[in-house]
Amino acid sequence: MSLRSFLFGSVASYASVVVYYMVTDKKALPESSSKLESASKSILTHGIPDRGPNIQVYDNHVLSYDQAKKTPIWVAERITREHVNGPADRKNIRFKPDPDVPTRFSADNSDYLRSGWSRGHMSPAGDNKYSQEAMSQSFYLSNIVPQNLDNNAGFWNRLEIYCRDLTQRYNAVTIFSGPLSLPSPIEDGKLVVTYPVIGKNQVAVPTHLYKIIIVEDKNSKPIGIGSFIVPNKPIGFEHALTEYQVPLDEVERKTGVTFTPKLDTSGLRDLCEIDSCKLMQKGDFDSYFIGRRLKSANNRQTLEKAWKELDAKKITPTQYHIDVYKQKMEEFKNNERNKSEE
């Protein structure tokens, strides 16, 4: 164990004790720490067993990591319009093990490669458009879980886009995301938990993913909350987000996590009542990522190709499509002209 992770773990667990102490018994803190001190001399004479840092902090997300499953337990963000807009892009970033996770407790890329499961961000890259560094940190495998590819690129992607869209209507959006391994019935009706593990590090493949969304008004006061548990499998456009809505309490019981100890969430409105909870539908979604492809085209050929997709999918070009196409085409023509002048 590194000194750094020891200190980090100690500080973090001290912090959580403090929170607990504030909301419960004022004597809890001194008593429990002196008990531990005493146990360290009687029972835990070889040291206090260490599950790693309780909390790990990055530029734009915070997470708690599971050293056994090699995935996060929860990942927290609090995003605004400023975070989700900017020049940062994923082009030159690669997934990599988190330098702050000990190698023997970490996944690596080979675990995911040809495993049949994709690398799904919990704090999405797109929530870090303001900072290339923050976006790079989101590609640490501590922020990644094995996710069905279609789910990742489809339903979950649309949920993430919805969260970013919320920043246009609310001051800030707090999001907790993570994996779940939920029980399912076997022949005799009994419940069992089973999940695959992938790669030499046996990264746990979750059966479900959860997302908790809290929105704030102009005064940064929390006003709405929505909690969702989504199966880790393909989910088509015929399914609405609200089908997967659950009470916060359900996510907390299943994760064992109290997400907002300082916030009485019973005072909050249902997010899906104050906002739509409507995800992008097929036509808009196709249109959206064709727009992204136009935007990221770096030569005339790929630009033309993306443009032709609009016709192939019978999508009427939006003004955005047209503007991006024209601007890019102009840029490429200038490049060609400059080259021929050399």
Which parts of this chain interact with DNA (CB under 7 A)? 89-90, 94-95, 109-110, 112-114, 117-121, 124-127, 129, 147, 149-150, 152-154, 157, 160-161, 288-289, 292-293, 296, 302, 305
Q: How far is the CB of 114 from DNA (least distance, A)?
A: 5
Query: How many Å apart are CA 47 and CA 45, to the nearest integer?
Result: 6
Residue closer to DNA, measured from CB, 4 or 305: 305
DSSP for 172-219? Answer: -EEEEEEEE---EE-TTS-EE----EETTTTEEPPSEEEEEEEEE-TT
**Hey, what are 146's tokens?**
């094995």
Q: How far is the CB of 164 from DNA (least distance, A)?
A: 8
Residue closer to DNA, measured from CB, 268 or 290: 290
DSSP for 219-262? Answer: TS-EEEEEEEEEESS---TTS-GGGGEE-HHHHHHHHT--S-TT
Residue closer to DNA, measured from CB, 8 or 156: 156
Catalytic residue positions, numbered:
121
Q: 3-state DSSP call for residue 32?
A: helix
Residue closer to DNA, measured from CB, 269 or 295: 295
Report in angstroms the alpha-carbon separations of 249 from 242, 300, 339.
Answer: 16, 52, 62
Q: How far is the CB of 305 from DNA (least distance, A)?
A: 7
User: Contact 172/98 with Cβ under 8 angstroms?
Assistant: no
Residue closer to DNA, measured from CB, 46 or 91: 91
Q: How far is the CB of 259 from DNA (least distance, A)?
A: 22
Query: How many Å apart are CA 142 and CA 134, to the nearest integer?
Result: 14
Amino acid making up residue 266: S
Residue 12 has phi, psi (to 5 degrees) of -65, -40
Q: How far is the CB of 255 from DNA (least distance, A)?
A: 20
**Hey, what are 169's tokens?**
């209507």
Query: How many Å apart are CA 47 and CA 57, to the nearest integer?
Result: 25
